[in-house]
Amino acid sequence: GAGVSQSPSNKVTEKGKDVELRCDPISGHTALYWYRQSLGQGLEFLIYFQGNSAPDKSGLPSDRFSAERTGGSVSTLTIQRTQQEDSAVYLCASSGETRDTQYFGPGTRLTVL
Amino acid sequence: GNSVTQMEGPVTLSEEAFLTINCTYTATGYPSLFWYVQYPGEGLQLLLKATKADDKGSNKGFEATYRKETTSFHLEKGSVQVSDSAVYFCALTVNTNAGKSTFGDGTTLTVKP
């Protein structure tokens, strides 16, 4: 596909369960970002991958959150022991060499009951 | 640190009215500035950008000028349409932050026929 894709589009889970969210960036893009968009708020940076460099995890809100990027392409964001405050839309973006323009996926809406 | 402050919404206009959404920023370094749009049920899309002072970004009738002296990047459109109803986000990226963006909280625009 031409754009960033994310799956699932919606995820409803029970408090305490683990969830995995997937992002497929635009082919050839070396940079990948995860953001969180809570209801009525702007985007909160979570984590950033650039090539083979160590990821910038400075935005992860707790150690329950982790992410990996395999083969420099697909990324998975994992939230362990989900809490109700984790409910949000999780957005993935990718960018090319210049890294100044990010292309966003449609997001995964996570609801923790 | 970096921050973006944009006009609080919601904003409601009649079709063909003039639109201004204010955005001001603080940044360490020399940021690139962006406006993103999020239509109902869709992901963020880049609307326009400007990478240096006095540049004007434009797209779909929207314009914004990078004003370093006032640290502003206000979004304008001369005549809005119902189809412009969406949430608009102002954002900045400083290359020293390796491309991760700082977003405003978003401004919801509703255009009535």
Q: Write out the two tokens for A44.
A: 């909160």
Residues 30-59 of B with CB under 8 A from A: 32, 34, 36, 42-46, 49, 51
Which residue, among A109, A36, A41, A37, has the nearest Cα to B106 in the 3D structure? Answer: A41
Q: Count other Cβ atoms within 10 Å, centred on residue B8.
A: 12
Bond preceding residue B31 cis, omega within 30 of 0? no
B contacts of A104 (beta carbons < 8 Å): 36, 43-45
Higher model confidence: residue A102 or residue B85?
Answer: B85
Whether residue A50 and residue B104 make contact (CB cut-off 8 A), yes or no, is no
The residue assigned the tokens 């996570």 is A110
In tens, the pLDDT along B10-22 reads 999 999 999 999 9
Whether residue B43 and residue A91 make contact (CB cut-off 8 A), yes or no, is yes
Per-residue pLDDT of chain A (113 residues; tens, 9 = 90+): 578 999 999 999 999 999 999 999 999 898 999 999 987 677 899 999 988 888 889 899 999 999 999 877 899 999 999 999 999 999 999 988 766 688 899 999 999 99
Rounded-to-integer distance, Cα A95 and Cα B96, Å: 15
